[in-house]
Amino acid sequence: MATFFGEVLSVYSRAVEEDDEELEENEEDEQIRRELEEKRTVHLHWNPEISELLRAGNKVQCSSFILAVGHNAASFLSAYILASANWDVVGRAVAWNEMSRSGTGPSGEGSACVFYRHKDEPAALICHVTCHIAEDQLFQWTEKVFGYLQTRGLTVTVLSDSSVADYKTADYLCSSSAPFLRSLCSSAFSDQPVCQSLEQPNIITGLPAAVLNHCQVHSIAAAVYQCYSDVTGPDSITMDKYKPVLTKLGRSIQVYSSQSTDVLCKFVRSSEIQSNLYI
Partner 1 sequence: MFISSQDSPAAFKGFTLVMPAVAVGNVGQLAVDLIVSTLNMSRVGYFHTDCLIPMAGNNPYASSKADAEELHTPAEVYTAAELKLAVLQIRAPIIQTRSRKFRQQLKSWIKASGFSRTVVLSSSHAYQRDDQQLQGISLRYLMTPSMLAASADALKELGWREMERIPAFPGVDADAEPRLCIPGGGITKGLYTDSCAEDLPLAVLLLFCSEGDNIPDAFALVNHLNDWLHLLDGQSEQPNSKWKIPTSWSLLFGSGIPPALF
CA distance linking residue 113 with residue 132, whole number of Å:
9
Q: Give the number of other CB atoms < 10 A from CB of residue 188.
A: 15
CB-nearer residue toward partner 1: 80 or 96: 96
Q: Report the SS3 class of residue 229.
A: strand
CB-nearer residue toward partner 1: 12 or 278: 12
- Asked if residue 252 binds partner 1 (CB under 8 A), the reply is no
Q: What is the DSSP letter of 63?
A: S
Pairs from 48-52 (Cβ < 8 Å, separation ≥ 24): 49/90, 50/90, 50/91
**Per-residue contact string for residues 213-242; x = within reach of partner 1 by CB under 8 A:** x--xx------x------------------
* Alpha-carbon distances of 148 from 61, 62, 118, 197, 249, rounded to whole Å: 9, 10, 17, 30, 22
279 alpha carbon, distance to own chain's centre: 32
**Per-residue contact string for residues 113-142; x = within reach of partner 1 by CB under 8 A:** ----------------------xx-xxx-x
CA distance linking residue 71 with residue 264, whole number of Å:
12
Interface with partner 1 in residues 199-218 (CB under 8 A): 199-206, 208-210, 212-213, 216-217
**Mode of pairing for the β-strands spanning 43-46 and 113-118:** unpaired
- Asked if residue 187 binds partner 1 (CB under 8 A), the reply is yes
Interface with partner 1 in residues 18-57 (CB under 8 A): 18-19, 21, 33, 37
Q: Least distance to partner 1 from the beta carbon of 13, Å?
A: 7
Q: What is the DSSP letter of 51?
A: H
Interface with partner 1 in residues 141-160 (CB under 8 A): 142-143
Q: Least distance to partner 1 from the beta carbon of 99, Å?
A: 16
CB-nearer residue toward partner 1: 13 or 176: 13
Residues that bind partner 1 (CB under 8 A): 13-19, 21, 33, 37, 135-136, 138-140, 142-143, 167-173, 184-187, 197-206, 208-210, 212-213, 216-217, 224
